[in-house]
């Protein structure tokens, strides 16, 4: 079955000056300023008022008043309805701690242990794209977690990417597979940059249904990723900087033409097609990968830039960069933050559903998921005996 070529999901909303009264949540001491408040539950939204524009992603919020338009750093409680439970706002989130509370010596391993064994994460969360980090860690501590695993492939080095990429090392943690994955695409260059000094590190804490793309084996296909998500609820981890050329994996034009309804040559304006071919001969796919979107609500899949895929097929390209986006209407993390997993009656962490599937796949070399394997560095579960 071929998947439909669909329009881009993000939408635009134009707002005139307004004086809509914002609702006051129960028990709130003071009224909020009048205007329109917006929060995003799924795809990106662009809010435009006059010559001002705010771009919102999932979990972010904005306020549009009579003479102002701004993104909100502190989201009012009445917009916080998707989060928390009867115990109060955000009560379902993982507990946090300050890095200053950690004992001296091998703090990186302590952070890993607290996440895998007790489901605790350090706070605050750094804006790593702005150069912030959780902290600076010695090279020897980082090297202990080096492996062949990866969750994305770095795109070609360009002046644009050099300017965009922060001098911060990402370390990604996966609770279901108990993997610690260091971003080895840039570890060596950061080690060269900082010399003998500790390297700034930002940790990426993943949900229980997420695996690194290397867990799927060396040859990953779009159909494999889609089937894994729609049939088993398992997703691959997000690409950090896809807009600069980073990708999940590469696919051939023939594979994409087979999987999607790509426009036929005769349906593409000849001049436009010629321009696309000329651009690819000069620049390839250095500007951005081809985006594949997976929508959980109707188990559908779409692709952008179908005409560019057809041009790539004409050129016979076999290595088209792909980045996968998930649109899950039930994604708690994107709206609220990293949630605590379910608890068992004995106080341990529940292992049902997706996590059990991933654990079984790791034990069998990945065969129950895809045929690929993952490096499992620890198998002890919270509450188990030593």
Give residue limits of the domains in the chain.
11-79
In sequence order, the 6+-apart residues with CB closer than 8 A to the CB of 265 are 273, 310, 314
Tokens representing residue 315 in the block = 């050129």
Q: Calculate the alpha carbon distances from 204 to 122, 133, 210 in Å.
A: 11, 11, 12
Note the pLDDT of residue 295: 87
In 3D, which of 278, 230, 60, 244 has the Cα closest to residue 159? 244
Note the pLDDT of residue 88: 45
What pTM value is reported for the model? 0.69
Q: Calculate the alpha carbon distances from 128 to 41, 75, 385 in Å.
A: 23, 21, 37
Which backbone phi and psi does 138 adopt, to 5 degrees?
-60, 150
* Omega prior to 124 cis, within 30 of 0: yes
Helix, strand, coil percent values for the chain (each to nearest 5) = 30, 20, 50
Give the C-alpha separation, 276 to 279, whole Å: 5
Q: To which residue do tokens 């003479």 refer?
A: 67
Note the pLDDT of residue 197: 96
Give the C-alpha separation, 125 to 121, whole Å: 9
Which pLDDT tens digit goes with each residue over 224-251? Answer: 999 999 988 899 999 988 888 899 999 9
Query: Residue ranges of the chain with pLDDT lower than 50?
Result: 5-29, 41-42, 85-90, 343-352, 366-386
Task: Return the SS3 of 252.
Answer: coil
Q: Calculate the alpha carbon distances from 13 to 23, 59, 60 in Å.
A: 21, 17, 15
Burial class (CB in 10 A: 0-12, 13-18, 19+), 212: buried
């Amino acid at each position: 079955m071929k998947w439909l070529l669909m329009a881009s999901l993000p939408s635009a909303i134009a707002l005139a000056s307004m004086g809509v009264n914002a609702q006051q949540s129960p028990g709130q001491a003071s009224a909020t300023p009048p205007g329109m408040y917006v929060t995003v539950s799924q795809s990106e939204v662009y809010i435009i008022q006059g010559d001002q524009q705010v771009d919102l992603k999932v979990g972010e919020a904005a306020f549009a008043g009579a003479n102002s338009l701004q993104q909100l750093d502190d989201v009012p409680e009445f917009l916080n309805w998707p989060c928390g439970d009867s115990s109060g706002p955000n009560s379902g989130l993982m507990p946090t701690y300050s890095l200053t509370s950690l004992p001296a010596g091998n703090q990186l391993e302590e952070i890993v242990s607290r996440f895998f064994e007790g489901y605790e994460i350090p706070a605050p969360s750094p804006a790593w794209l702005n150069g912030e980090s959780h902290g600076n860690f010695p090279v020897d501590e980082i090297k202990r977690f080096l492996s062949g695993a990866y969750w994305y492939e770095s795109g070609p080095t360009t002046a644009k990417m050099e300017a965009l990429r922060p001098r911060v090392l990402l370390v990604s943690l996966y609770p279901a597979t108990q993997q610690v994955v260091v971003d080895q695409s840039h570890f060596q260059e950061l080690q060269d940059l900082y010399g003998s000094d500790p390297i700034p590190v930002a940790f990426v804490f993943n949900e229980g249904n997420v695996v690194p793309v290397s867990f799927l084996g060396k040859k990953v296909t779009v159909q494999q990723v889609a089937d894994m998500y729609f049939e088993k609820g398992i997703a691959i981890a997000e690409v950090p900087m896809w807009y600069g050329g980073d990708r999940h994996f590469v696919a051939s034009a023939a594979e994409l033409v087979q999987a999607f309804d790509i426009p036929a040559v005769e349906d593409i304006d000849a001049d436009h097609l010629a321009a696309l071919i000329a651009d690819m001969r000069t620049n390839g796919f250095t500007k951005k990968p081809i985006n594949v979107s997976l929508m959980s609500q109707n188990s559908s899949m779409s692709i952008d830039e179908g005409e560019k895929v057809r041009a790539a097929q004409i050129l016979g390209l076999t290595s088209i960069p792909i980045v996968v986006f998930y649109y899950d209407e039930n994604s708690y993390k994107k709206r609220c933050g990293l949630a605590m997993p379910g608890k068992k009656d004995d106080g341990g962490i529940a292992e049902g559903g997706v996590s059990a599937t991933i654990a079984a796949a790791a034990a069998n070399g990945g065969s129950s998921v895809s045929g690929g394997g993952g490096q499992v560095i620890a198998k002890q579960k919270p509450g188990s005996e030593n």
